[in-house]
Structure 1
Amino acid sequence: MANDTDIKPRAKTVPKVARPPLHKVILVNDDFTPRDFVVRVLKAEFRIPEDQAHRIMITAHTKGSCVVAVFTREIAETKAKRAVDMARGEGFPLLFTTEPEE
């Protein structure tokens, strides 16, 4: 006897992995840290080319702060801490903060 039931494979559900929330690293301007040192920190910690690092530094200088880069929370916090530690090691009050990206 032939089976007239049409058997179709079920569609597989592929779970979507949610992207981790991103955080901005923000350079906060101060009146004490030399501009060339700020550029050096941006190049060293964030691997930013010199011309872009200079533009970020000038933007922070004129507007008070500037977004440097966007990473996952752990990476953003680590990079900000390392940049601040680098500045403190040289005796400068340079500040990088992080905040969630909207």
Structure 2
Amino acid sequence: MEHNIVTIEKNQVKTKKPKNYKVVMFNDDYTTMEFVVDVLMNIFNKKIEEATKIMMDVHKKGRGIAGVYPYDIAVTKVSKAIGLAKEEGFPFKLVIEEE
């Protein structure tokens, strides 16, 4: 009598949720409030009310969180914002911080 034995292997692939990163804007004496609001609305997709609140945090507290994104998106948004600031002649500083 012949027995057929079938072995089934289960390979579990564990995927980690990607880390998120905060985009932080810093206050300076040259970049205008209007420019910061414009960047928040056009690059970070904020509505006028939220953009104004974040801009006021930057102005009053010295820094504000523009948003939280996966790394690649955060880098792209920071790059666009800094590029636009350079075009306008502003020394606007943004950094990415791990959440």
TM-score (norm 2): 0.85
Residue 15 of structure 2 corresponds to 17
Over the aligned positions, Cα root-mean-square deviation in angstroms equals 1.9
- TM-superposition CA deviations, 1:20-74 (whole Å, max 9, x none): 1111100111111111111001111011001100000000111111111111111
Structure 1, unaligned runs of 5 or more:
1-9
Larger Rg over CA atoms:
1
Could you tell me which amino acid in structure 1 is paired with residue 22 of structure 2? K
- Paired residues, what number? 96
1:3-35 C-alpha deviation (Å, 9 max, x unpaired): xxxxxxx7x665332111111100111111111
Partner of 1:40: 38
Match of 1:72 in 2: 70
In structure 1, the partner of 2:57 is 59
Q: Any runs of at least 4 consecutive aligned residues in structure 1 with deviations exceeding 4 A, and if so which? A: none
Segments of 5+ residues of structure 2 without an aligned counterpart are 1-7
Query: What amino acid maps onto 1:46 in structure 2?
Result: F
